[in-house]
Amino acid sequence: MKIEASKKLPKAGTIEIAPSILSADFARLADEIAVIESAGVKVVHLDVMDGHFVPNITIGPPVIAKLRKYSNLVFDSHLMISEPEKFAERFVEAGADHVTFHIEAANEPKRLIDKLHELGATAGICLNPDTPVDSIKDVAPLCDMVLVMTVHPGFGGQKFILDAAKKIIQVREIVGPDIRIEVDGGIDPQTTPIVVSYGADTLVAGNAIFSKPDRVGAINAIRQAYKEGHNIKRRGTRS
């Protein structure tokens, strides 16, 4: 099999919802992803946890490889794992189009970003709520998307941390308008206008979508929330 990610993140300039399957029915993942695809989202967020970097365990490359056969969405894999450089290639091989790793976990982040690009994937760096923005200032401009955590990683359904969200403003100043800023944790119709006004353009939502019987309705409620907030000035973005 050729190792080359094929689907690309939408170019910066649009707001995208990236449903996180963490709160989906893991016994029916392909069906769950088909439903969100029918709602018109372009990206699905796949949370990978190793029980070491975070105190929870989820999925790895074998599950992603199986899902790849059932979906045309951009696979945005969020690696909450130690030593991401050891495993990144296997995720791209399995079908991940975008690979985000944590700045706290990587020894040589620049090298890993280069490697992901060589593999044809896009690259993302992630910042935990307690990690200063300064720690990513050199690598963020090399990425295609920066992920700002608004909960401590490990579990879905946690409370949104407003102080962590405020880091989006600083990250936007560092990366300018052409790099996506993704926000992850406690995103719902109430928190959406806040993070969009700070400059986020890629909204991960797990519990707010998959805890609802009507997943499509839940996605539309988030869309409605950012459309209603559209006259709030979006910092540092082109649109």
- Can you give the binding site for ligand DX5, defined by CB under 6 A? 20, 22-23, 45, 47, 78, 151, 153-154, 156-158, 184-187, 204-208
The interface partner of residue 151, options being Zn ion, ligand DX5, none and the CB cut-off 5 to 8 Å by kind, is ligand DX5
Which of 12, 21, 41, 47: binder of Zn ion (CB under 5 A)? Answer: 47
Residue with tokens 């559209």: 230
Catalytic residue among 50, 97, 144, 184: 184
Residue 182 found at the interface with Zn ion (CB under 5 A)? no
Helix (H, G, I), strand (E, B) or coil at 66: helix
Q: Is 47 a known active-site residue?
A: yes
CB of 116 to Zn ion, least distance (A): 17
Helical (H) or strand (E) element with 183: strand 180-184
219, 36 contact by CB (below 8 A): yes
Q: Half-sphere exposure of 105 toward its Cβ, with a 13 Å CA cutoff?
A: 26
Work out whether 172 is an interface residue with Zn ion (CB under 5 A): no
Binding window for Zn ion (CB under 5 A); candidates: 32-40, 50-58, 116-124, 180-188? 180-188
Residue type at 227 in one-letter notation: K
Residue 13 — φ and ψ, nearest 5°? 125, -10
- Contact between 76 and Zn ion by CB under 5 A: the answer reads no
Task: Return the active site residues.
Answer: 47, 184
